[in-house]
Structure 1
Amino acid sequence: MSAKTANRVATIVIISVAVFIVALLAGLLGFILVRGIGHISFDFLTSAPQTIKAGGGIGPQLFNSLFLLVLTLIITVPLGVGAGIYMSEYAKPGRFTDFIRLIVEVLSSFPSIVVGLFGLLVIVNLFGLGFSLFSGALALTVFNLPLMVRITEQAIRGVPREQKEASLALGLSRWKTITSVMMPIALPTIITGTILASGRVFGEAAALLFTAGMTSPRLDFSNWNPLSPTSPLNPFRPAETLAVHIWKINSEGLAPDAAQIAAGASAVLVIVVLLFNFTARWFGRYMYKKLTASK
């Protein structure tokens, strides 16, 4: 086979694989949206679910998922970005640094059910936090922290060495060089890592069964006292997320329209993830242009 023919064959194979992946994703999204979007309404998005009769919605579960996302990012992003900066700029090569990287790789491959059991034994029982949003956020941090550390480290290392050396040559400190020169360049990659971590927060169910719980108290959305057990802003209350609700309503099947509720909830979950991804990418480009003064 000549080089020209081999190049043509390789190009066709690569394009075919890419088209197959796009078609598979489009088919999956289309199936979920077409099956569930007809069940979405304002009442469905705002009302509480019914377990013994038809009707109800996913209002508390949708709010719990968004609240859990915020709590998890508040914990994960500072720790992950800080650890990534340390590993790329401050940690000296050696056995200790290699051991830290090994631990990060091991944590990133842990099964979610194992992390859930760890959260149940340590976070829920040993620390006495109980089934709560905060316990779920800590368990999800175990998932997302290795990803954030690894992506931040690679993003910082990907900054051209000439820019770093030029900043240091001008008399800027190492920290000022990191925050003013390297971080703006690495920001789009870090935001991509945050998006990947956030997608896992939305879709995770196994770990949250053992940490956040499978029930939610009746929330009073007029009560904004974060210490009240019925307040939606209380991070120490049990909370059923949207992904857990989909699993629960399918497994129990108590509601007559359980299949329709699960289909609508799945469509809402996909739409929320897509909206979050697009918004986060727009914000990343906006911050990159602002921090680097590029047009």
Structure 2
Amino acid sequence: MAWALVFSGQGGQHPGMLPWLGEDALTRSVDARLGVADWRASLSDADWGARNAHAQCLLTGLALAAWSQLAPLLPPPAAIAGYSVGELAAFSAAGVFDATTALDLAQARAAAMDRCAAQAPGGLLGLSQCAPAVLERLLTDSTLAIAIRNGIDSVVLGGPPTALARAETAAVAAGAHATLLRVAVASHTPAMQPAAAAFAERLASLPLARPHTPLFSNAADRVASTEQARHALAAQIATTVRWDECMDNLQARGVGRVLEIGAGQALARLWNQRHPGVPARAADEFRSVEAIAAWLMRT
């Protein structure tokens, strides 16, 4: 059965994530890069885990460690995509660069975004059950932008903390569900343009390979060349993550199942809401790699 592989973004990291993940060279590399003895123990401090510099490296490395331990049990996926920072793991899984490069890029990406945030503090506000007319009213505040689009009534806004607080109050009053995310950066908004430019410079001289698996981007649809890969990875830092379109692109490949690798089950839930005829599950739900493989291979 054809299946799609998706990699989570940040926000759902927790000490018990990926309970089946064994220690290997990649997990040890994550510990070393973050200067900790045990990433699970470190995640017991929620503030530590929420820091951009920790989360981006951690999630990229653990996702790729999980994939390397799972891949030998499975046929290749029919398509791959990643959500926000999850694109680094997705591009690596598709063969654009190796895991070490992915970790280097995760640290560079986080540092560039943190430099932007130091100059212009920001954050993210998740909205669901938000009518289009309500969203339109919220966006009359020019300091806010749509950072992530998950569906017609499910988006994430980015902007300055004061503007997000006003938007939260107004959205709840209009009947929407609003949640301030544990992120101190207005990711995927024009405020991150200097970070996108810095990351583009980093990518410009980096040797990349063409994807060996159909790969879909948050910012540029299908990625089939090294130049498209460079553009997509930099552009998504400062432009809207179009996850609704990513899901539709994957579904159009005729996949029969979708596996999310990362922290939590957010992408699996979004998929099941949008494409209920094609089941999705998160690797975080399972207790062993064998159980994941058995589910994916079930006819």
Which one has a bigger Cα radius of gyration?
A: 1
TM-score (norm 2): 0.23
- Structure with greater strand percent: 2
Query: TM-score, normalized by length of structure 1?
Result: 0.24
